[in-house]
Amino acid sequence: MEPFANGVHVARPFPPRVMEKTYPGLQVVPSTAALHRVLWDRLGIGDETAGKNAMALLYKVQAADAVQSVNDLFTKFVLDKPITYAKADEAEGHFTDLRNAWEKIRVIEDQTKRLNPIPGLWADYESGRDELAYFTAVNPSPDQARSPFWKWRWDRESTALEQAEQTAQREHEQAKADQTAAANEAARLEGELQSILSAIAQDDAMSELGGLDVRIESAQGALTRVEQDRDELAQAVGDVLTVPDTRAAFDRQQAASAAFMEGYPTRKKTADDQAEAAKRAQWELANQLKGLREDREHYVGRKDVTDRDRDYVRRRYAELIGLEPHQLPFAGELMDMLPEHEGWRMAAEIVLGGTARSLLVPEAHLGAFRRAGEDELTAFRIPYLVVRNLDVALSKGDPATIGGRLQFREHTYSGWLSQRVSRSARHVCVDSPDDLGDLPAGYKDGVTIQGQTGNRDGGAVGGQKNHKPTIGFTPEAVIARIDAKIKTVEDELVPADKAAEAAQTAVAVLRGQHDAHARFLKVPWDRIAVQETTAALQELLDRRKVLSEDPSVAALAREKEQAKAASAVANKKLGAAETKTEDTEKTWGVLAERKDEAFNQLMGLDDVPDLHTDWLDDMLTGFRDDPDVPGPVAADFESGPWRKFVRHLASRYEAAAKKRDNARRLLSQTFEDYIREYRDTAGAEDLTTDPDRSYWQFHAILERHRASGVDSAKAEFTEYTAMYGGHELMALALAYENELTNIDARLTEIGNALADQPYGETDTGRVTIRRRDGHAPPVVTQFRKELKDATTGTTAVLTYEQAVAKYERFDNLISQLADPKKRDVLLDVRTHVLLEAQHLEDGKLVKFYRELATTSGGETQELTMFIIAAAIRYKVGSLDAKTPRFAPVFMDEGLIKADPERTQRAVEVWTRLGFQPVIATTTDKHESISRTASVLLTVTKDSSHRSKLDRVAAVTGDESEATG
């Protein structure tokens, strides 16, 4: 039968029942899993659970890498994946629900916090909106208009003025009564005073005393004037001369002052001339210093030695003809001395002076330059040269000549300029002026290092001192010379400043002396005779004292003074009463006129509607200085206060608009932030940022949260936290303990399997596996401690605060489990213990194994085979049975690293446990296996690539070569 071409099995769809009828004994299963169950059952491996476990162990053995330790051996081949992983998955899954409950509280609290301000903002919004609507209806304005505002104004003003008019009338009538009483009292006191004066007139002593009073008063006035005049004169001339106290001293000072004034013109001219000369010298030095500093500032940062005057002219011409300054250079800006010929700079400056000071004008702009030169007048002449050819290479001049000792800046004109200089500056450089008369052949002119030029017929000398540099790429030397000059001028300027100041001071002192003497000459003696005037006053005072000591005179004098004082007081009161009467009468009249005008204005607005004006009354009362006054007064409606009040209303309007707009903006912003954050929540689609449309929806959310929302969410969260800690995390905590118990159970099972199996070189040797505690990683110990603390007290009733604290612990634990770097470390209990294999002889420890990488390959292989054999025996059949459910065990290149003795012991443990080991290896690695195997087979392949199987006799001793 060709299986891929013929037969019922190639039909479509596949016919399972037809196949079973066609091939008796054939069983067709519906899936791979069903096939596994049938095969495991027929081969005796076990049912679905036992078979799957056994096969999983075999897969581990097949896929495992090299074993590094006993822990590694058990983890790969013996121990199953800990249940802690599944419990951790459950805890993480249920923690999502707990986190959602926590998030619900956060959401409610956040929403409440966001919406808490909106009632106050809405109140501001409504009050601002209502106030604006009221202002719009009332229409307040500073100028009269037909509006409710002005109708209210005229009504309140007419009422206030009527009350003020009545008050003014009463005040006027009272003022008239007070004036009559004051007039009567003043007349009575005046009569008494006249009677006393009449008595005094009949007494001689009193008559003289009365005259003395007048003369004393006049003398006192004269003394005051003399003292004042003397003080003023002393202040005016005190720095120059002393005011005389006697007439003789006064006359002598008059003569001295007259003599000074006579010689003053000569002395003034001398002082003025000296001051002018000092000032001129100071100005010249200061002006020179200013020019030097400007020159220095001009040169700083430049790459040439062109002075600022010539640079200004060049820039002006460049601007006029449309060129940049660097396109209109001076020839000297493009030339400099070669470093090795720096000493010949003065010679080059003198020979090339005219050329170096010339502007280089490109031929294309020559016409424009000449026209500009005709129109633009300058203080000095500027020579220029026309550059006609720009495509000229640099010319290397004769190094013996001054032109050959120059270098040229990189510039468009440099080629043309170098050729011109090589022709015009062919002055040969000579060491001595004596050589100027005997120049080498081929040279017409010569020049010395100091710039003297000459030939056989003549030459030129001098010009070095006042020469301004024109050639060079750097102004450093120029700046250095300027700095030296600045220092010199500054040193000279210091004494010049002092001399000018001293000369000016001398002029001022002389002028002050002149003014003092002139002032003194204008004052007569009697204007400053204080001593004489004082003596005259004292004489009058002495006479009055004599007369005043007479008792009868003293009595009359006292009566007179008392009567005069009383009369003066009465007259003063009368004058005040008269003034008040006049003022109250005027006020009464003005208020009456204003009241009539206000009433007429009010009548003219009778058709204007009345509005609720209590608010305006309150604002007017609050606006006034005295807020306790219950209503407006007449002064409120005068022009100044009234306009100020209207401005106050305007500011209130602006404040109301600002309050409304600000509240609306904040409400809109709050709503926008809320919608942005919670746009995916139920009901959010009906919300808007418009306060007028959505405020009450948001207000309802806030009220709902305030009423019970957050409390309900907290109660739910607290209950779930208690349940979560008592179930999921408690289950995870118990899983750790259960896994350790499972490990102990598995070690017991493996130990039971190996209890009767000799290990090592003697029949009494045994191998057993022991678990060592205290080797868990610190992070695991800490995690389990935190887990225990978190689950402690979870069965008790929690407060919300306790639940929050628990949640934070739970969150920390779950975060650690979710960390990929820590998850396996925390959950793989197999790595939390230290396993060691112990080799015992007669129950005594011979050797223990933990790390297998350091043992020999054979030793590791023997120990590994003992443990794997026991594990597989446990998986494929009870250890109480004589044989496993499935005996054949195939090993690909198994036991190839051990010596024959270890190999034999490893094979024997498999056979004693009921297995039939089948070991495949290559011909070059079969020696140890050959000495142990009961049957040897060899597989060979001929030249046609056909394989065959041959039996080989077992070998003993050192025979190790297989045939076939």
Q: Is the dihedral of CA 926, 929, 930, 931 positive or negative?
A: positive
**What are residue 385's DSSP bridge partners?**
360
pLDDT at 706 over 90: no
Which has more confidence, 343 or 801? 343
pLDDT at 63: 43
- What is the mean pLDDT of the segment spanning 223-251? 90
DSSP code at position 686: G
What residues pair up with 408 in beta bridges, in sequence order? 335
- Residue 471's nearest CA partner among 297, 292, 303 is 303
Q: Length of the chain in residues, anyone?
A: 964
- pLDDT band, very low/low/confident/very high, at 67 (cuts 50, 70, 90): low
CA distances to 102, 275, 484 from 497, rounded to whole Å, are 87, 11, 20
Q: Give the distance from CA 509 to its chain's centroid.
A: 63
Segment 99-139, tens digit of pLDDT? 888 888 888 888 888 889 989 999 999 988 888 888 887 77
| Whole-number percent of the chain with pLDDT over 90 | 27
Q: Which amino acid is at 945?
A: H
What would the pLDDT profile of 552-562 be if each residue is shown by its tens digit? 667 777 777 88
Nearest to 254 by CA among 237, 277, 269: 237
Per residue in 245-275, pLDDT (tens digit) is 888 999 999 999 999 999 999 999 999 999 9
471 φ/ψ sector (left φ>0, alpha ψ -120 to 50, else beta)? beta
Confidence tier at 639 by pLDDT (50, 70, 90)? confident
Element (H, E) at 841: strand 834-841
The residue that leads in pLDDT, 760 or 40, is 760
* Cis? peptide before 13, omega within 30° of 0: yes
CA dist., res. 872 & res. 864, Å (int)? 12
Which one of 247-251, 744-748, 840-844, 954-958 scores highest in mean pLDDT? 247-251
SS3 837: strand
Mean pLDDT of 300-305: 92
Return the biggest CA–CA distance within the chain.
189
CB contact at 8 A, 308 and 295: yes
Residue 844 reports pLDDT greater than 80: yes
144 burial type by CB count under 10 A (0-12 exposed, 13-18 middle, 19+ buried)? exposed
Which tokens go with 273? Answer: 């001339």
Q: What is the mean pLDDT of residues 900-907?
A: 74
Q: What pLDDT score was predicted for residue 447?
A: 94
pLDDT of residue 563: 85
- pLDDT attached to residue 48: 58
**Strand pairing of 359-362 and 428-429?**
unpaired
Please give the full DSSP string across 503-538, using - where no structure is assigned.
HHHHHHHHHHHHHHHHHHHHS-GGGT-HHHHHHHHH
* Residue pair 801/941 in contact by the 8 Å Cβ criterion: no
Extract the tokens encoding 941: 């392949």
Sheet holding 844-849, edge to edge: 765-772, 834-841, 844-849
What tokens does 392 get? Answer: 């000229």
Sign of CA dihedral 341, 344, 349, 351: negative
Exposure b/e, 363-399, CB count within 10 A at least 16 = b: eebeeebeebbeeeeeeeeeebbebeeeebeebebbe
| 3-state SS class at 159 | helix
Name the DSSP letter for residue 705: I
Give the lowest-confidence range in 386-390, 739-743, 885-889, 925-929.
Answer: 925-929
* Cβ–Cβ < 8 Å for 924, 935: no
Cα-to-chain-centroid distance, residue 160: 60
Side chain identity at 852, as an amino acid letter?
L
Distance (Å, whole) CA 450 – CA 344:
8
**What is the model's pLDDT at position 496?**
92
Strand (E) or helix (H) holding 621 = helix 614-623
Token pair for 688: 């808007």
Residues ≥6 apart with Cβ < 8 Å to 356? 330, 331, 332, 335, 349, 470, 471
Instruction: Provide DSSP, 294-358.
Output: HHHHHHTT-SS---HHHHHHHHHHHHHHT--GGGS-BGGGGEEE-GGGGGGHHHHHHHTHHHHTS
Report how far residue 809's alpha carbon sits from residue 802's, in angstroms, rounded to the nearest whole number: 11
- pLDDT for the residue numbered 208: 67
All residues at 6 or more sequence positions from 153 whose CB lies less than 8 Å from its CB, including other chains = 637, 642
Would the pLDDT of 701 be above 90?
no
Q: Which residues contact 857 (CB under 8 A, 6 or more apart)?
A: 897, 898
Interacting residues of 477 by C-beta distance below 8 A, sequence separation 6+: 469
Residue 581 predicted with pLDDT over 60: yes
Q: Which tops the pLDDT comparison, 923 or 663? A: 663
Helices 857-875, 48-63: crossing angle, 10 deg rounding: 170
Of the ranges 149-158, 394-403, 610-619, 927-936, which one carries the lowest mean pLDDT score? 927-936
Q: To which residue do tokens 């929403």 refer?
A: 111
pLDDT reported for residue 963? 34
Alpha helices in 605-690 (DSSP H): 614-623, 639-677
Per mean pLDDT, which range of 604-613, 642-651, 730-739, 882-891 is the poorest?
Answer: 882-891
- DSSP H helical ranges for 876-919: 900-912
Can you say whether residue 289 is alpha, beta or left, with left for phi > 0 and alpha for psi between -120 and 50 degrees?
Answer: alpha
pLDDT score recorded for residue 293: 94
Q: Which residue has the higher pLDDT, 635 or 446?
A: 446
Return the CA Rg of the chain.
Answer: 65
pLDDT at 405 over 90: yes
Rounded to the nearest angstrom, the gap between the alpha carbon of residue 59 and the centroid of all alpha carbons in its chain is 63
pLDDT: is 214 or 312 the higher one? Answer: 312
Joined together, the tokens standing for residue 212 give 């003395």
> Residue 669: which pLDDT band, with cuts at 50, 70 and 90?
very high
Q: What is the pTM of this model?
A: 0.42
Is residue 678 within 8 Å of residue 113, measured between CB atoms?
A: no
Kindly report the average pLDDT of the chain as a whole number: 82
Q: Are strands 359-362 and 916-920 parallel, antiparallel or unpaired?
A: unpaired
Report whether pLDDT(387) > 90: yes
Residue 341 has a pLDDT of 94
Dig out the tokens for 638 from the structure: 């005068």
Mean pLDDT of all residues in 299-318: 92
Q: What is the pLDDT of residues 475-487, one digit of tens each?
A: 999 999 999 999 9
Of the candidates 142, 165, 160, 156, the one whose C-alpha atom is nearest the C-alpha of residue 605 is: 156
pLDDT confidence tier of residue 386, bands split at 50, 70 and 90:
very high
Between 628 and 467, the higher pLDDT residue: 467
Give the span between the Cα atoms of 908 and 914, in whole angstroms: 10
**What percent of the chain stands above pLDDT 70?**
87
Is pLDDT above 90 for 616?
Answer: no
Residue 334 pLDDT grade (very low, low, confident, very high; cuts 50, 70, 90)? very high
Upper half-sphere CA count for residue 468 (Cβ side, 13 Å): 13
**pLDDT score of 615 more than 90:** no
139 near 145, Cβ under 8 Å?
yes
CB-based contact 190:567 (threshold 8 Å): yes
Q: What is the mean pLDDT of residues 333-346?
A: 94
Whether the pLDDT of residue 89 is over 70: the answer is yes
Query: In this structure, how many other beta carbons lie within 10 angstroms of the beta carbon of residue 405?
Result: 22
Q: Name the pLDDT band for 958 (thresholds 50, 70, 90).
A: very low
pLDDT band at 64 (very low <50, low <70, confident <90, very high): very low
User: Where is mean pLDDT largest: 308-317, 530-539, 681-690, 862-871?
Assistant: 308-317
d(CA 181, CA 193): 19
Distance of CA 526 to the CA centre of its chain: 81
* DSSP classification of residue 829: G
Q: Judging by DSSP bridges, how do beta strands 888-892 and 916-920 pair with one another?
A: parallel
Q: What is the pLDDT of residue 43?
A: 62
- Indicate if the pLDDT at residue 488 is higher than 70: yes
**Which of these, 930, 854, 923, lies nearest to 899 by C-alpha position?**
930
Contact 791, 730 (CB under 8 A): yes
Ramachandran category for residue 82: left, alpha or beta (phi over 0 → left; psi -120 to 50 → alpha)? beta
The average pLDDT across 711-731 equals 80
For residue 342, name the pLDDT band (cuts at 50, 70, 90): very high
What does the pLDDT average to over 919-937? Answer: 72
Would you state the pLDDT for residue 399?
A: 92
More confident site: 406 or 562: 406
More confident residue, 783 or 912: 783
Structure tokens at 3: 């299986």
- Per-residue pLDDT averaged across 655-683, rounded? 89
